């Protein structure tokens, strides 16, 4: 932590559609907005490059994967920022895709990647059914922590992962100081669970949480909750993007992290590992 500096982070909020070009244009505008406000770490939500029609996603997976990865590397270099692509489809040999989050450094190189392990197969009381495993192959590896000299130790996760505290405990044990939770949380579950789960993950691991989000309608069936947030290690919400496309920006302060961990050293008090 001694190496870590104070900096501004941005959690981008998008209304992505089943249209790669439109989504990348929207993402670029919001990256530009974030950088103009001083952000050095910019985070895009899950499904930033394509969201809506599952069949179309699978048939276009190759193009979406290539376009997304190229876009992330180009943007990180152009704006000289560390950039998280919070989740996009990467084709696998069996015809499904991995839901892959990619962290790219300011000179355009890949720093870290994570293939989402927890898949959202849920029947909601509002009549919507989500079967992520129909098209997505679950990752098999625990997410990594990327040790950035300046930005701190960055832990990856994606969306539905937020309901599995053991994944974040693993990240904390690996030294995470900042947790990414890029999401496309449903409007139905989001209103009751989104904020409280993110605050819990921040509080119990005494980490910052950066949670970029999808918002609004993506097609006739799918609607996301919004409220991209940045939360401090005490659980305080520092910024909330509301329910429209935009960006939540807040400072990540090593001194605050040290203060909270000194006041509440719960990570050192664990009995059961």
- Could you list the active site residues? 46, 116, 159
Please say whether the dihedral angle defined by the alpha carbons of residues 170, 174, 177 and 183, taken in this order, is positive or negative.
negative
User: Is residue 248 within 8 Å of 16, Cβ to Cβ?
Assistant: no
Question: Mapping DSSP to helix (H, G, I), strand (E, B) and coil, where does residue 227 land?
Answer: coil
Q: Which two tokens stand for residue 247?
A: 């960006």
User: Is residue 12 within 8 Å of 26, Cβ to Cβ?
Assistant: no
Question: Mapping DSSP to helix (H, G, I), strand (E, B) and coil, where does residue 171 land?
Answer: helix
Give me the helices (H) in the chain, please: 20-36, 54-59, 61-79, 165-173, 187-189, 195-205, 254-263
């Amino acid at each position: 932590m001694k190496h870590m500096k104070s900096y501004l982070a941005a959690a981008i909020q998008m209304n992505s559609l089943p249209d790669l070009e439109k989504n990348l244009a929207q993402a670029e505008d919001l990256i530009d907005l974030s950088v103009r406000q001083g952000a050095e770490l910019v985070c895009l939500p899950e499904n930033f490059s394509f969201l809506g029609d599952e069949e179309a996603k699978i048939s276009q997976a190759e193009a979406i994967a290539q376009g997304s990865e190229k876009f992330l590397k180009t943007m990180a270099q152009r704006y000289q920022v560390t950039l998280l692509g919070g989740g996009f489809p990467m084709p696998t040999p069996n015809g499904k895709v991995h839901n892959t989050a990619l962290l790219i450094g300011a000179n355009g190189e890949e720093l870290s990647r994570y293939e989402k392990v927890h898949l959202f197969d849920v029947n909601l009381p509002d009549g919507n059914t989500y079967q992520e495993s129909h098209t997505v192959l679950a990752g098999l590896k625990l997410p990594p922590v990327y040790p950035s000299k300046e930005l701190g130790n960055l832990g990856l996760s994606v969306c539905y992962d937020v309901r599995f505290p053991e994944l974040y405990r693993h990240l904390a044990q690996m030294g995470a100081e900042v947790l990414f939770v890029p999401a496309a949380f449903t409007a139905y579950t989001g209103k009751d669970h989104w904020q409280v789960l993110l605050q819990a993950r921040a509080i119990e691991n005494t980490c910052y949480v950066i949670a970029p989000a999808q918002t609004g309608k993506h097609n006739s069936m799918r609607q996301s909750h919004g409220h991209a947030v940045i939360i401090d290690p005490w659980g305080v919400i520092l910024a909330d993007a509301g329910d429209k496309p935009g960006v939540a920006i807040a400072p990540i302060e090593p001194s605050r992290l040290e203060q909270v961990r000194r006041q509440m050293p719960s990570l050192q008090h664990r009995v059961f590992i």
